[in-house]
Chain A
Amino acid sequence: MGQKKKALTAGQGSFRQAHAWLHTWCGLWFSWLLFAVFLTGTLAVFEEPITHWMTPEHHAQEQAAAADRSVEPAADGASLSQRLAWATAYMETQHPGAGMWELWPADAEGAGELRVYWFDADGQYAAADLDASTGEPVIRKPGQQARKTMGGHHFVDFHYELHAGRLGLWIIGAAAMVMLVALVSGVITHRRIFKDFFTFRVRKGQRSWLDAHNAVAVLTLPFQFMIAYTGIAISGLALMPAGVHAYFGTEAEDARTFFSALNESDKPLRSGQSMAVPALEPFVLRGQALMGQPVRAVVIDHPGDAAARIGVYGWNDAVSVSQRLSSTSGMAMFSAATGDVLQVRQPGNADGGTAMLAQSVMAGLHMVTFGGWALKWVYFVCGLAGSAMMATGAILFMVKRRGKHLGEFGGATARVYRMIEGLNVAAIAGLAVACVGFLWANRLIPAGLNHRDDWELVAFFAVWLLSLLHALIRQPSAAWCEQLGALAVLCLLLPVLNLVTTGEHLLAQIMHADWESAGVELFVVAVGICALGALRSLRQRSAMRVPRTPSKPSNHAVPLPTEQETAA
């Protein structure tokens, strides 16, 4: 069988054999990257709690704000009409040349912050905060400022573009395609998919890894297809630009033409005649009545021009957010000059046709903008299962080959196996260490340091790189143990670090009902306990290990060094 297997390569043997080959090699070469995308994407589900934990300076402010609100609801700040007047006055006097205004007058209850955004003369998006009770621009004092951090957004950014912009997006896009291909070929390979799912042979070495790989994959297969497909489709227009190039042209300007045709096909052109922005309150009140939502933002295209257009956008309430797949809010568009209604969009509908609605639904599905916390947890668990699918697949590849040289790489096979073992350790255990190391860096890097947010990223990548070097230098079994040990220590001591550096601790977080912070720390501690468990079972296996019997090389469910490795 081994002989026959060795001879098979791409597109050979039966249909199932050919796809077993495809699944093995697609899976292996992309498993490390896909594991990283999946683990960080899973953490990205809880972007906000992580950001909250990473900006401890905000905790006291948020608690005070919450206390205020419970005592005197909607007492803060001026009326809606006053807020709109302040925002208009600020924009007219401070930024007269802006091509677009976007005023966020208040929260859904008519209270909260007053914020303005605009496109400045260079077409850049800019923002300012106005005091909600005086209308004066808010200048933040350095002392009040929270530490500069990417927070949970680090995981979001990393999981779809690796902090590498367009290049990263293409790498992730390719990885997502490979994942779809590996999922299909995996289904073809495992013909007895449901029987496999109900089979779990514990502590049987290679078979246990195979069963675990099959179980997590089959159980969450629909989720894995959905998340990979929606992920690639969200960036589809960037990854598959042929259509835009064929009909609109290949320049950056042509892409903009396409996007404005897609998103704002009826945007008027500047007339050249000047006309002051009219009082906004009547437009806002009519808009609220038309779409049935309180105002979230007022967008004015071409302010100061006679062709100006006023769009009133609504706040989605919590119920509709959790029930609607498409997360678009209501919108009413008016002509500033005549006051005519140009367009009304009901909440949840898309501006364009079916494809635009599908795009919005796919984004909602991928980013879990609906369903509330319960669904976020479902995504989190399914995401962890997906990560486990990649990890078990990568480990299975090596477990299968320990003590049984398949000679795929000719004379270099032993060296390549050794490299794969090292990459497994660094990609799985090392990435986990780097993620918790990112949280450590957040507390250890001085709050006032220049480019502090970049230093946190440097720490993340440095820890990861160190883990790779460590995994390539040390024997695989030792590397697994040491990196799992490091993970356990960093995870279990994170609450202690937080106590020492900020004075906050788990009990206090729970007493203040600060579930975001408490959730982050409890989860990290749980990971630490799991890492300890894995470490213990690894050590037990090594202790129990009898001198190697090459005829049954696959009876170790855990990574252990083999003759080849020690020889290599």
Chain B
Amino acid sequence: MDAFFDKHPGWGTASRIAAAVLGGYALSSAWVVLWGAMQSTRVEAILAGVQTSFVVYVVAAIWAFSPVSLRRVWGVLIAAIVAMLGSAVLLAGWQG
């Protein structure tokens, strides 16, 4: 994958922008969903998750543009999203 992006730097940049914008948005959305599952007062928890989600978004975007291989950027982003959503499902299911 990285060899392809070395040859076509334009696609590498596009992929990085997608990781920062879309990946970052998906990650912060997953963060809000996780917050919603964490407390019994769900509306307050969702609001608190929304308020903090923009920090998550900024950090994700900054990291996606750091000198880290694209494979790693996407891998970590997807793993974190899956982990957050998985925990949210478990927590919400466990609370009933």
Contact surface of A with B, Cβ cutoff 8 Å? 9-15, 17-19, 21-22, 177, 180-181, 184-185, 188, 229, 232-233, 236-237, 240, 242-244, 246-247, 258, 261-262, 265, 352-356, 358-359, 362
Partner of B47 from the list A177, A247, A262 (CB cut-off 8 Å) is A262
- A258 and B29 form a contact (CB under 8 A): no
A13 / chain B contacts, CB cutoff of 8 Å:
67
**Could you list 18 examples of A-B contacts with CB < 8 Å?**
A10-B65, A11-B16, A11-B64, A19-B65, A21-B65, A180-B54, A232-B54, A233-B50, A242-B30, A246-B88, A247-B42, A258-B43, A258-B46, A262-B47, A354-B44, A355-B45, A356-B47, A358-B48
Q: Nearest Cβ distance between residue A564 and chain B, in whole angstroms?
A: 23
A355 / chain B contacts, CB cutoff of 8 Å:
44-45, 47-48, 51
In the complex, residue of chain A having the shortest beta-carbon distance to the beta carbon of B67: A18
B46 / chain A contacts, CB cutoff of 8 Å:
243-244, 247, 258
- B43 and A236 form a contact (CB under 8 A): no
- A9 and B12 form a contact (CB under 8 A): yes
The complex places the Cα of A258 from the Cα of B48 at a distance, in Å, of 14
Main secondary structure of the interface of A (DSSP, over half): helix
Within 8 A of A (CB), among B33-74: 33, 35-36, 41-51, 53-54, 57-58, 61-62, 64-68, 70, 73
Query: Is B9 in the interface zone, CB < 8 Å from A?
Result: yes
The complex places the Cα of A236 from the Cα of B70 at a distance, in Å, of 29
A358 / chain B contacts, CB cutoff of 8 Å:
48, 51
The complex places the Cα of A233 from the Cα of B51 at a distance, in Å, of 6
Partner of A352 from the list B17, B36, B44, B49 (CB cut-off 8 Å) is B44
Q: Nearest Cβ distance between residue B33 and chain A, in whole angstroms?
A: 5
A11 / chain B contacts, CB cutoff of 8 Å:
12, 16, 64-68, 70, 73
- A243 and B62 form a contact (CB under 8 A): no
The complex places the Cα of A17 from the Cα of B66 at a distance, in Å, of 9
The complex places the Cα of A356 from the Cα of B44 at a distance, in Å, of 7
The complex places the Cα of A529 from the Cα of B88 at a distance, in Å, of 59
> When each residue 71-95 of chain B gets 1 if its CB lies under 8 Å from chain A and 0 otherwise, what string results?
0010000000000000010001000
A22 / chain B contacts, CB cutoff of 8 Å:
62, 65
- B29 and A240 form a contact (CB under 8 A): yes
The complex places the Cα of A22 from the Cα of B16 at a distance, in Å, of 11
B44 / chain A contacts, CB cutoff of 8 Å:
262, 352-356
The complex places the Cα of A359 from the Cα of B33 at a distance, in Å, of 18
Q: Known pairs A236-B50, A247-B46, A262-B47. 19 more at Cβ < 8 A?
A: A11-B12, A18-B66, A18-B67, A19-B65, A19-B66, A184-B58, A229-B54, A236-B53, A236-B54, A237-B50, A240-B29, A240-B53, A243-B33, A243-B35, A244-B46, A246-B33, A265-B43, A352-B44, A355-B51
B41 / chain A contacts, CB cutoff of 8 Å:
353
> When each residue 1-45 of chain B gets 1 if its CB lies under 8 Å from chain A and 0 otherwise, what string results?
000000001001100110010000000111011011000011111
A246 / chain B contacts, CB cutoff of 8 Å:
33, 36, 88
The complex places the Cα of A43 from the Cα of B57 at a distance, in Å, of 29
- A359 and B61 form a contact (CB under 8 A): no
Partner of B49 from the list A229, A243, A362 (CB cut-off 8 Å) is A243
The complex places the Cα of A233 from the Cα of B47 at a distance, in Å, of 10
The complex places the Cα of A356 from the Cα of B47 at a distance, in Å, of 8
- A243 and B65 form a contact (CB under 8 A): no
- A14 and B67 form a contact (CB under 8 A): yes
Residues A185 and B62 in contact in the complex (CB < 8 Å), given A180-B54, A258-B43:
yes
Residues A15 and B51 in contact in the complex (CB < 8 Å), given A181-B62, A185-B62, A247-B42:
no
Specify which of A11, A177, A355 lies most central, judged by the most chain B CB atoms within 10 Å of its CB. Answer: A11
The complex places the Cα of A474 from the Cα of B23 at a distance, in Å, of 42
- A181 and B51 form a contact (CB under 8 A): no
A180 / chain B contacts, CB cutoff of 8 Å:
54, 58
The complex places the Cα of A21 from the Cα of B48 at a distance, in Å, of 33
Q: Nearest Cβ distance between residue A192 and chain B, in whole angstroms?
A: 20
- A243 and B67 form a contact (CB under 8 A): no
Partner of B62 from the list A9, A184, A261 (CB cut-off 8 Å) is A184
- A181 and B42 form a contact (CB under 8 A): no
A356 / chain B contacts, CB cutoff of 8 Å:
44, 47
Partner of B54 from the list A233, A242, A265, A352 (CB cut-off 8 Å) is A233
Q: Nearest Cβ distance between residue A230 and chain B, in whole angstroms?
A: 10
B57 / chain A contacts, CB cutoff of 8 Å:
177
- B50 and A240 form a contact (CB under 8 A): yes
The complex places the Cα of A188 from the Cα of B92 at a distance, in Å, of 39
B35 / chain A contacts, CB cutoff of 8 Å:
243
The complex places the Cα of A531 from the Cα of B49 at a distance, in Å, of 45
Residues A177 and B61 in contact in the complex (CB < 8 Å), given A12-B67, A232-B54, A240-B32:
yes
B53 / chain A contacts, CB cutoff of 8 Å:
236, 240
Q: Nearest Cβ distance between residue B91 and chain A, in whole angstroms?
A: 12
Q: Nearest Cβ distance between residue B88 and chain A, in whole angstroms?
A: 8
The complex places the Cα of A352 from the Cα of B13 at a distance, in Å, of 44
In the complex, residue of chain B having the shortest beta-carbon distance to the beta carbon of A174: B21
In the complex, residue of chain A having the shortest beta-carbon distance to the beta carbon of B92: A247
The complex places the Cα of A244 from the Cα of B54 at a distance, in Å, of 16
Q: Nearest Cβ distance between residue A338 and chain B, in whole angstroms?
A: 27
The complex places the Cα of A15 from the Cα of B42 at a distance, in Å, of 39
- A359 and B51 form a contact (CB under 8 A): yes
The complex places the Cα of A55 from the Cα of B76 at a distance, in Å, of 57
Residues A354 and B65 in contact in the complex (CB < 8 Å), given A180-B54, A240-B53, A262-B43:
no
The complex places the Cα of A347 from the Cα of B88 at a distance, in Å, of 36
The complex places the Cα of A361 from the Cα of B68 at a distance, in Å, of 37
Q: Nearest Cβ distance between residue A407 and chain B, in whole angstroms?
A: 14
- A15 and B47 form a contact (CB under 8 A): no
The complex places the Cα of A185 from the Cα of B65 at a distance, in Å, of 10
The complex places the Cα of A177 from the Cα of B53 at a distance, in Å, of 11
Q: Nearest Cβ distance between residue A241 and chain B, in whole angstroms?
A: 8
